[in-house]
Amino acid sequence: MPIVAQSTTEADWVSRFADEVIAEADRRAPGKPVVVASGLSPSGPIHLGNLREVMTPHLVADEIRRRGREVVHILSWDDYDRFRKVPAGIDPSWAEHIGKPLTSVPAPAGSEYSSWAEHFKAPMIAALAELGIEYRGISQTEQYTAGAYREQILFAMRERAQIDAVLDRYRTKAKPGAKAAPKQQQKPVDEAEIEAAEGSGAADEDDGSTGGAGYFPYKPYCSVCDRDLTTVTAYDDETTELTYSCVCGHQETVKLSEHNRGKLVWKVDWPMRWAYEGVIFEPSGVDHSSPGSSFVVGGQIVREIFGGEQPIGPMYAFVGISGMAKMSSSKGGVPIPADALEIMEAPLLRWLYARRRPNQSFKIAFDQEIQRLYDEWDALERKIADGSAQAADAAAYSRATRTADRELPRTPRPLSYRTLASVVDITTGDEQQTLRILRDLDPGNPVTSLDETRPRLDRAQAWITTHVPADQRTRVRDEPDTELLGSLGEAERGSLRLLLEGLDDHWSLDGLTAHVYAVPKIQAGLPLDAKPTPELKVAQRTFFALLYRLLVGRDTGPRLPTLLLAVGAERVRKLLAP
């Protein structure tokens, strides 16, 4: 059966967390489904870095499911949070919505969605589906406005002095002069990364302290202007009558036992939900983990106020991006998961998260590095196939390519990403030309339809067209470089003649690879199996540089065998005829 737990000898980080979570679940809530949780705020684009918030519990939940245990992965959409600021690129008139719940703010102009929150949730929901991530989505707007947390809110209001006392411990500790938090290990290197590192922004939300009438952990949204620029001025525990005033001038008294238009402040809201849902595992980003932060304070509040327990909550490190800096100004920000899924298949993206422990940072490549990453992935697949992969690598591969329930879609014939990228670079996506070249790669077992090579082919094409700058694209010369050809010496002309004479006999990827290396050997009077000497290496490099100059007018380019196949024999002859 494919749905089999990893053996304990393959204890990768996911397995170890699964062990720990199951043991805690058995202790805290025996016989009940294990609950793991993620939280996302759709306050703006949900960045690729935030995917770790979902991927970490997903992998652990999936391992638990593989072991035959019932598990629920809750994804809490923090869409009842307030709209904090108008992001760059949005009409400044959206400032009038600051303070409203994200579900009450209109979507950016031109959006098909009904609200700001729905607009930014939608691409994440699509990406999670493509990644094979199963979860139970919970809209906090729906929960609060349906009165789901009524008991918890009334309880928190009764316990407000206690809550205030807990918060106060950290208020003092967090004063300047306190020891610096062991925060981010590595410094973000550019602006896009800093933005990605900020995460949902919920971490720095205020904790509800007010003056005058005392401390209240509940903040109403004003019934007139819908903003949370309100101050609770009185509360009666007996009648639950709550009076608030708003900066818009509105003032009213509501019965909190019937009121569904407000929420607990973040530092109370989060632990309340840990207890409410019985969450056993919920990781959080670095911004939540410093002393006085919501995770630390939440741990005290859930224990001392709500009588619950804090989840096992590893801090996950920062996920960076390489190669998007140039694109970010034109694309208006850091990439979201959908951007990564345009240039890489879902199993590869899952693998990047699965193979690193949550406390290790890593980068997702949008630059040339993606080709090396795919080479590494293909090498791992070969090791899996011949049984030589290390246990931890095999575990990461298994988590990347399938879930407990299903295999993720894969490319039937996964040709090298590097080769595919070079081919679509040269053909600029022309399907007939692409098919001709892919067929020629291995004449003994030719590609017969482009669909065999999809979706990897489409991902490579998207990468070439959206992330490779124009000056790095390959442009095959239309006409021979007669000036350069005319300046060549006899030896160089001889090497070109040798190459052209053997072209037809070697017209495949392997054949041309052997042939381009053989030409300098033949010229030097060496046997074809001669070991490379420093002199021979220089001769080969010089020969390759000459071919690049004559074919694409630069000193480098795609790998030569791929380039020759892509240019086609006829055009190669035209451009290289000495």
Which residues make up the interface to Zn ion (CB under 5 A)?
Answer: 222, 224-225, 246, 248, 250
**In the complex with Zn ion, which residue's Cβ is closer, 245 or 428?**
245
**How many whole angstroms separate alpha carbon 539 and alpha carbon 62?**
54
Q: Which long-range contacts (CB under 8 A, 24 or more apart) does 469-474 make?
A: 469/326, 473/425, 474/422, 474/425, 474/426, 474/552, 474/557, 474/558, 474/563
Q: How far is the CB of 225 from Zn ion (least distance, A)?
A: 3
**In the complex with Zn ion, which residue's Cβ is closer, 225 or 566?**
225
**How many whole angstroms separate alpha carbon 234 and alpha carbon 244?**
7
Q: How far is the CB of 265 from Zn ion (least distance, A)?
A: 18
**How many whole angstroms separate alpha carbon 293 and alpha carbon 304?**
17
Residue 557 in contact with residue 463, Cβ under 8 Å?
A: no
Count of CB atoms within 10 A of residue 451's CB? 12
Q: Show Cβ contacts of residue 110 under 8 Å, excluding neighbours closer than 6 positions.
A: none
**In the complex with Zn ion, which residue's Cβ is closer, 248 or 254?**
248
CA torsion, ordered 119, 120, 121, 123, to nearest 10 deg: 90
**In the complex with Zn ion, which residue's Cβ is closer, 227 or 456?**
227
**How many whole angstroms separate alpha carbon 30 and alpha carbon 116?**
40
**In the complex with Zn ion, which residue's Cβ is closer, 248 or 526?**
248
**In the complex with Zn ion, which residue's Cβ is closer, 247 or 577?**
247
Assigned token pair, 49:
């870095």
CA 422 to each of CA 102, 217, 430: distance values in angstroms, whole numbers, following the listed order:
44, 59, 13
Q: How far is the CB of 251 from Zn ion (least distance, A)?
A: 9
Q: How far is the CB of 140 from Zn ion (least distance, A)?
A: 21
Q: How far is the CB of 80 from Zn ion (least distance, A)?
A: 17
Q: Which helix (H) or strand (E) holds 399?
A: helix 391-401
DSSP-derived 3-state class of residue 286: helix
Q: How far is the CB of 105 from Zn ion (least distance, A)?
A: 15
**In the complex with Zn ion, which residue's Cβ is closer, 230 or 562?**
230
Q: Which long-range contacts (CB under 8 A, 24 or more apart) does 206-209 make?
A: 206/265, 207/167, 207/265, 207/266, 207/267, 207/268, 207/297, 208/264, 208/265, 208/267, 208/268, 209/164, 209/167, 209/171
CA 553 to each of CA 384, 419, 537, 556: distance values in angstroms, whole numbers, following the listed order:
41, 20, 22, 9
- Can you give the length of the chain in residues? 578
**In the complex with Zn ion, which residue's Cβ is closer, 225 or 565?**
225
**How many whole angstroms separate alpha carbon 86 and alpha carbon 89?**
9
**In the complex with Zn ion, which residue's Cβ is closer, 231 or 257?**
231
Q: How far is the CB of 247 from Zn ion (least distance, A)?
A: 6
Q: How far is the CB of 78 from Zn ion (least distance, A)?
A: 22
Q: How far is the CB of 259 from Zn ion (least distance, A)?
A: 15
Which residue shows structure tokens 């094409």? 461
Amino acid residing at 511: G
Instruction: For residue 266, give the nearest of 156, 133, 420, 113 by alpha carbon.
Output: 156
**How many whole angstroms separate alpha carbon 446 and alpha carbon 551?**
25
**In the complex with Zn ion, which residue's Cβ is closer, 105 or 349?**
105
Q: How far is the CB of 246 from Zn ion (least distance, A)?
A: 3
Amino acid residing at 27: R
**In the complex with Zn ion, which residue's Cβ is closer, 121 or 227?**
227
Residue 230 in contact with residue 263, Cβ under 8 Å?
A: no
Residue 88 in contact with residue 150, Cβ under 8 Å?
A: no
Q: How far is the CB of 227 from Zn ion (least distance, A)?
A: 5
**In the complex with Zn ion, which residue's Cβ is closer, 66 or 227?**
227
Q: How far is the CB of 226 from Zn ion (least distance, A)?
A: 7
